[in-house]
Amino acid sequence: MSPSPNLVTDIRAASRKLVREFGFLDKTIAGTNLSGSGVHAIMEIGLHPGITAKELAGRLKLEKSTVSRLLKALEARGDIRQTRSKTDGRVFGLSLTDTGRATFAKVDAFGNDQARRALSVIEGNKAKTIADSLAAYADALAGSVDSREQVQQPFDIVEGYQTGMIGDIAAMHGRTHGRIVGAGPTFESVVARGMAEFMPRVGNPVNNSWSVLENGQVIGSISIDGEDLGENIAHLRWFILSKKLRGKGLGRILLTKALDHCDRLGLDEIHLWTLKGLDAARALYEKNGFVLADEYVGDQWGKAVTEQMFIRKRPSRSN
Protein backbone atom coordinates (compact mmCIF):
# COMPACT_ATOMS: atom_id res chain seq x y z
CA MET A 1 0.00 0.00 0.00
CA SER A 2 1.39 3.40 -0.97
CA PRO A 3 1.88 5.89 1.89
CA SER A 4 -0.22 9.04 1.90
CA PRO A 5 1.31 12.24 0.46
CA ASN A 6 0.99 13.91 3.88
CA LEU A 7 2.94 11.12 5.57
CA VAL A 8 5.71 11.38 2.98
CA THR A 9 5.87 15.15 3.53
CA ASP A 10 6.07 14.73 7.31
CA ILE A 11 8.82 12.13 7.10
CA ARG A 12 10.88 14.25 4.72
CA ALA A 13 10.50 17.32 6.94
CA ALA A 14 11.62 15.35 10.00
CA SER A 15 14.58 13.93 8.05
CA ARG A 16 15.73 17.42 7.03
CA LYS A 17 15.47 18.59 10.64
CA LEU A 18 17.51 15.61 11.83
CA VAL A 19 20.26 16.45 9.36
CA ARG A 20 20.35 20.04 10.63
CA GLU A 21 20.25 19.09 14.32
CA PHE A 22 23.01 16.52 13.89
CA GLY A 23 25.15 19.30 12.44
CA PHE A 24 25.73 17.80 9.01
CA LEU A 25 25.33 21.20 7.32
CA ASP A 26 28.37 22.51 9.19
CA LYS A 27 31.83 22.14 7.69
CA THR A 28 32.90 20.04 10.66
CA ILE A 29 30.81 17.92 13.03
CA ALA A 30 30.89 15.94 16.27
CA GLY A 31 33.25 18.35 17.97
CA THR A 32 36.08 17.57 15.56
CA ASN A 33 37.65 19.35 12.61
CA LEU A 34 36.49 16.53 10.32
CA SER A 35 33.84 16.64 7.64
CA GLY A 36 30.75 14.47 7.87
CA SER A 37 32.29 11.85 5.60
CA GLY A 38 35.49 11.88 7.67
CA VAL A 39 33.58 11.29 10.90
CA HIS A 40 31.61 8.42 9.36
CA ALA A 41 34.80 6.89 7.97
CA ILE A 42 36.46 6.99 11.41
CA MET A 43 33.39 5.34 12.97
CA GLU A 44 33.17 2.56 10.36
CA ILE A 45 36.89 1.77 10.51
CA GLY A 46 36.78 1.77 14.31
CA LEU A 47 33.78 -0.55 14.39
CA HIS A 48 35.09 -2.83 11.62
CA PRO A 49 38.90 -3.12 11.89
CA GLY A 50 40.39 -4.50 8.68
CA ILE A 51 37.62 -3.12 6.47
CA THR A 52 38.83 -2.44 2.92
CA ALA A 53 38.48 0.80 0.98
CA LYS A 54 35.97 -0.90 -1.32
CA GLU A 55 33.85 -2.05 1.61
CA LEU A 56 34.05 1.41 3.18
CA ALA A 57 32.87 2.99 -0.06
CA GLY A 58 29.88 0.65 -0.05
CA ARG A 59 28.98 1.48 3.54
CA LEU A 60 29.33 5.24 3.05
CA LYS A 61 27.62 5.21 -0.37
CA LEU A 62 30.55 7.15 -1.84
CA GLU A 63 32.47 6.87 -5.10
CA LYS A 64 35.77 5.01 -5.05
CA SER A 65 37.73 8.15 -5.97
CA THR A 66 36.07 10.14 -3.16
CA VAL A 67 36.93 7.46 -0.60
CA SER A 68 40.51 7.31 -1.88
CA ARG A 69 40.95 11.05 -1.29
CA LEU A 70 39.26 10.77 2.10
CA LEU A 71 41.58 7.96 3.23
CA LYS A 72 44.67 9.86 2.11
CA ALA A 73 43.54 12.83 4.21
CA LEU A 74 42.88 10.66 7.28
CA GLU A 75 46.23 8.94 6.84
CA ALA A 76 47.98 12.30 6.60
CA ARG A 77 46.28 13.34 9.85
CA GLY A 78 47.63 10.21 11.51
CA ASP A 79 44.16 8.78 12.22
CA ILE A 80 44.38 5.58 10.15
CA ARG A 81 46.85 3.12 8.71
CA GLN A 82 46.55 0.85 5.69
CA THR A 83 48.02 -2.65 5.97
CA ARG A 84 48.59 -4.92 2.98
CA SER A 85 46.69 -8.22 3.16
CA LYS A 86 48.87 -11.29 3.72
CA THR A 87 46.69 -13.35 1.38
CA ASP A 88 46.14 -10.77 -1.40
CA GLY A 89 48.82 -8.15 -1.94
CA ARG A 90 46.39 -5.98 -3.91
CA VAL A 91 44.12 -5.47 -0.89
CA PHE A 92 44.73 -3.15 2.06
CA GLY A 93 42.91 -3.38 5.38
CA LEU A 94 42.13 -0.18 7.27
CA SER A 95 42.60 0.32 11.01
CA LEU A 96 42.83 3.19 13.48
CA THR A 97 46.09 4.45 14.97
CA ASP A 98 46.30 5.59 18.59
CA THR A 99 45.41 9.08 17.33
CA GLY A 100 42.50 7.65 15.37
CA ARG A 101 41.20 5.75 18.38
CA ALA A 102 41.23 9.01 20.36
CA THR A 103 39.26 10.66 17.55
CA PHE A 104 36.85 7.70 17.50
CA ALA A 105 36.32 7.98 21.27
CA LYS A 106 35.65 11.72 20.96
CA VAL A 107 33.11 11.23 18.16
CA ASP A 108 31.45 8.33 19.97
CA ALA A 109 31.13 10.31 23.20
CA PHE A 110 29.73 13.31 21.31
CA GLY A 111 27.07 11.14 19.64
CA ASN A 112 26.15 9.37 22.88
CA ASP A 113 25.79 12.69 24.70
CA GLN A 114 23.65 14.12 21.89
CA ALA A 115 21.35 11.10 21.95
CA ARG A 116 21.06 11.04 25.76
CA ARG A 117 20.16 14.73 25.94
CA ALA A 118 17.44 14.31 23.34
CA LEU A 119 16.04 11.12 24.88
CA SER A 120 16.00 12.64 28.38
CA VAL A 121 13.12 14.97 27.40
CA ILE A 122 11.02 12.18 25.87
CA GLU A 123 8.40 10.75 28.20
CA GLY A 124 7.43 7.17 28.96
CA ASN A 125 8.30 4.39 26.56
CA LYS A 126 8.33 6.65 23.51
CA ALA A 127 12.13 6.43 23.39
CA LYS A 128 11.97 2.70 22.59
CA THR A 129 9.33 3.39 19.94
CA ILE A 130 11.58 6.03 18.39
CA ALA A 131 14.57 3.68 18.37
CA ASP A 132 12.56 0.88 16.74
CA SER A 133 10.99 3.23 14.21
CA LEU A 134 14.29 4.83 13.22
CA ALA A 135 15.88 1.41 12.80
CA ALA A 136 12.96 0.19 10.69
CA TYR A 137 13.05 3.31 8.52
CA ALA A 138 16.83 3.09 8.04
CA ASP A 139 16.52 -0.60 7.12
CA ALA A 140 13.72 0.24 4.68
CA LEU A 141 15.87 2.89 3.02
CA ALA A 142 18.78 0.46 2.77
CA GLY A 143 16.43 -2.27 1.57
CA SER A 144 15.22 -0.16 -1.32
CA VAL A 145 18.83 0.15 -2.48
CA ASP A 146 19.51 -3.54 -1.82
CA SER A 147 16.54 -4.58 -3.92
CA ARG A 148 17.88 -2.63 -6.90
CA GLU A 149 21.33 -4.20 -6.42
CA GLN A 150 19.84 -7.66 -6.21
CA VAL A 151 18.07 -7.17 -9.53
CA GLN A 152 21.52 -6.81 -11.08
CA GLN A 153 23.09 -9.65 -9.08
CA PRO A 154 20.48 -11.94 -7.51
CA PHE A 155 21.39 -14.45 -4.82
CA ASP A 156 19.45 -17.59 -3.97
CA ILE A 157 18.71 -18.47 -0.33
CA VAL A 158 18.12 -22.19 0.18
CA GLU A 159 17.48 -24.46 3.16
CA GLY A 160 19.24 -27.58 4.35
CA TYR A 161 22.45 -29.24 3.33
CA GLN A 162 24.16 -28.04 0.13
CA THR A 163 26.93 -29.92 -1.64
CA GLY A 164 30.31 -28.52 -0.62
CA MET A 165 28.94 -26.30 2.14
CA ILE A 166 31.13 -27.75 4.92
CA GLY A 167 34.29 -26.77 3.07
CA ASP A 168 32.85 -23.48 1.82
CA ILE A 169 31.76 -22.34 5.28
CA ALA A 170 34.88 -23.55 7.10
CA ALA A 171 37.02 -21.65 4.58
CA MET A 172 34.99 -18.45 5.04
CA HIS A 173 35.37 -18.68 8.80
CA GLY A 174 39.11 -19.23 8.47
CA ARG A 175 39.57 -16.24 6.14
CA THR A 176 37.26 -13.97 8.12
CA HIS A 177 38.24 -14.75 11.71
CA GLY A 178 41.81 -15.93 11.21
CA ARG A 179 43.06 -12.44 12.07
CA ILE A 180 41.56 -12.87 15.56
CA VAL A 181 42.28 -16.51 16.35
CA GLY A 182 45.48 -16.73 14.34
CA ALA A 183 46.16 -18.18 10.91
CA GLY A 184 46.58 -21.92 10.66
CA PRO A 185 44.63 -25.16 10.37
CA THR A 186 43.33 -25.50 13.95
CA PHE A 187 40.45 -23.02 13.81
CA GLU A 188 39.26 -24.09 10.37
CA SER A 189 39.49 -27.77 11.38
CA VAL A 190 37.36 -27.22 14.51
CA VAL A 191 34.69 -25.49 12.40
CA ALA A 192 34.74 -28.27 9.81
CA ARG A 193 34.49 -31.03 12.45
CA GLY A 194 31.51 -29.38 14.11
CA MET A 195 29.73 -29.01 10.79
CA ALA A 196 30.55 -32.57 9.78
CA GLU A 197 28.85 -33.80 12.96
CA PHE A 198 25.80 -31.56 12.49
CA MET A 199 25.02 -31.87 8.79
CA PRO A 200 23.85 -35.53 8.85
CA ARG A 201 21.08 -34.41 11.24
CA VAL A 202 20.32 -31.00 9.69
CA GLY A 203 17.04 -32.44 8.38
CA ASN A 204 15.69 -33.22 11.85
CA PRO A 205 12.63 -31.05 12.63
CA VAL A 206 14.29 -28.81 15.23
CA ASN A 207 17.38 -28.21 13.06
CA ASN A 208 17.88 -26.28 9.85
CA SER A 209 20.39 -24.32 7.82
CA TRP A 210 19.94 -21.43 5.39
CA SER A 211 22.56 -20.60 2.78
CA VAL A 212 23.19 -17.95 0.15
CA LEU A 213 24.29 -19.56 -3.11
CA GLU A 214 26.20 -18.17 -6.06
CA ASN A 215 26.85 -20.58 -8.93
CA GLY A 216 26.33 -23.49 -6.56
CA GLN A 217 28.85 -22.22 -3.98
CA VAL A 218 27.80 -21.28 -0.46
CA ILE A 219 28.87 -17.67 0.16
CA GLY A 220 26.79 -17.02 3.28
CA SER A 221 25.06 -19.24 5.82
CA ILE A 222 23.47 -19.65 9.24
CA SER A 223 22.38 -22.80 11.09
CA ILE A 224 20.15 -23.67 14.03
CA ASP A 225 21.01 -26.77 16.04
CA GLY A 226 18.01 -27.51 18.24
CA GLU A 227 19.42 -30.71 19.70
CA ASP A 228 22.93 -30.32 21.09
CA LEU A 229 22.17 -28.01 24.05
CA GLY A 230 18.96 -29.72 25.16
CA GLU A 231 16.35 -28.23 27.55
CA ASN A 232 14.42 -26.66 24.64
CA ILE A 233 17.37 -24.37 23.86
CA ALA A 234 18.53 -23.68 20.30
CA HIS A 235 22.17 -23.20 19.30
CA LEU A 236 22.80 -20.62 16.57
CA ARG A 237 25.91 -21.71 14.69
CA TRP A 238 28.21 -20.84 11.77
CA PHE A 239 26.71 -17.45 10.89
CA ILE A 240 29.01 -16.10 8.18
CA LEU A 241 28.89 -13.93 5.06
CA SER A 242 31.48 -13.50 2.33
CA LYS A 243 32.77 -9.97 1.83
CA LYS A 244 30.70 -9.42 -1.30
CA LEU A 245 27.46 -9.91 0.66
CA ARG A 246 28.17 -7.48 3.48
CA GLY A 247 26.09 -4.33 3.57
CA LYS A 248 23.33 -5.80 1.40
CA GLY A 249 20.94 -6.78 4.19
CA LEU A 250 21.42 -10.51 3.63
CA GLY A 251 22.77 -11.08 7.13
CA ARG A 252 19.57 -9.65 8.55
CA ILE A 253 17.51 -11.88 6.25
CA LEU A 254 19.40 -15.03 7.27
CA LEU A 255 19.15 -14.20 10.97
CA THR A 256 15.42 -13.53 10.65
CA LYS A 257 14.88 -16.94 9.05
CA ALA A 258 16.74 -18.62 11.92
CA LEU A 259 14.83 -16.71 14.61
CA ASP A 260 11.47 -17.36 12.96
CA HIS A 261 12.29 -21.09 12.86
CA CYS A 262 13.01 -21.12 16.61
CA ASP A 263 9.95 -19.06 17.55
CA ARG A 264 7.68 -21.18 15.37
CA LEU A 265 8.87 -24.32 17.17
CA GLY A 266 8.46 -22.70 20.57
CA LEU A 267 12.12 -22.99 21.58
CA ASP A 268 12.61 -21.10 24.85
CA GLU A 269 16.04 -19.65 24.23
CA ILE A 270 18.66 -19.26 21.50
CA HIS A 271 22.33 -19.34 22.54
CA LEU A 272 25.29 -18.32 20.41
CA TRP A 273 29.02 -18.01 20.95
CA THR A 274 31.14 -15.48 19.10
CA LEU A 275 34.52 -13.76 19.30
CA LYS A 276 34.96 -10.41 20.97
CA GLY A 277 35.70 -7.66 18.47
CA LEU A 278 33.13 -8.61 15.81
CA ASP A 279 31.20 -5.41 16.47
CA ALA A 280 28.97 -5.43 13.38
CA ALA A 281 27.74 -8.94 14.21
CA ARG A 282 27.21 -8.00 17.85
CA ALA A 283 25.11 -4.98 16.84
CA LEU A 284 22.92 -7.20 14.67
CA TYR A 285 22.49 -9.73 17.49
CA GLU A 286 21.58 -7.10 20.08
CA LYS A 287 19.17 -5.44 17.70
CA ASN A 288 17.35 -8.77 17.47
CA GLY A 289 17.00 -9.37 21.18
CA PHE A 290 20.27 -11.12 22.09
CA VAL A 291 21.90 -10.12 25.38
CA LEU A 292 25.53 -10.67 26.37
CA ALA A 293 25.42 -13.36 29.08
CA ASP A 294 29.07 -14.32 29.54
CA GLU A 295 32.57 -13.41 28.43
CA TYR A 296 35.67 -15.51 28.99
CA VAL A 297 39.03 -16.46 27.49
CA GLY A 298 39.02 -19.78 25.64
CA ASP A 299 41.66 -21.67 23.66
CA GLN A 300 39.63 -24.26 21.74
CA TRP A 301 40.52 -22.52 18.47
CA GLY A 302 44.26 -22.97 18.88
CA LYS A 303 44.94 -19.57 20.44
CA ALA A 304 43.66 -17.86 23.58
CA VAL A 305 40.89 -15.45 22.51
CA THR A 306 38.04 -13.71 24.28
CA GLU A 307 34.76 -15.45 23.56
CA GLN A 308 31.29 -14.07 24.21
CA MET A 309 28.03 -15.91 24.82
CA PHE A 310 24.75 -14.24 23.85
CA ILE A 311 21.24 -15.40 24.76
CA ARG A 312 17.89 -14.49 23.23
CA LYS A 313 14.75 -15.52 25.09
CA ARG A 314 11.60 -16.34 23.13
CA PRO A 315 9.44 -13.20 22.92
CA SER A 316 6.38 -13.43 25.17
CA ARG A 317 3.08 -13.47 23.36
CA SER A 318 0.67 -10.70 24.25
CA ASN A 319 -2.92 -11.75 24.95
Segments of 29-183 assigned E as strands: 80-84, 92-96, 156-159
Q: Where are the domains of the chain?
A: 5-121, 155-313
Query: Is the pTM for the entire model greater than 0.85?
Result: no
Report the range out of 20-34, 57-71, 209-223 with the highest average pLDDT.
209-223
| CA distance linking residue 199 with residue 225, whole number of Å | 10
Cβ of 154: how many Cβ atoms within 10 Å?
A: 8
Radius of gyration of the chain (CA): 21
* Contact (CB, 8 A) for 273 and 285: no
| CA distance linking residue 49 with residue 278, whole number of Å | 9
Q: What is the mean pLDDT of residues 199-221?
A: 93
Domain 5-121 listed as CATH 3.40.50.2000 = no
State pLDDT tens for residues 25-67: 776 677 788 888 888 999 999 988 888 888 888 888 888 778 8
Q: Backbone phi, then psi, for 181, in 5-degree steps? A: -90, -10
Distance of CA 262 to the CA centre of its chain: 21
Cβ of 1: how many Cβ atoms within 10 Å?
A: 3
Domain 155-313 listed as CATH 3.40.630.30 = yes
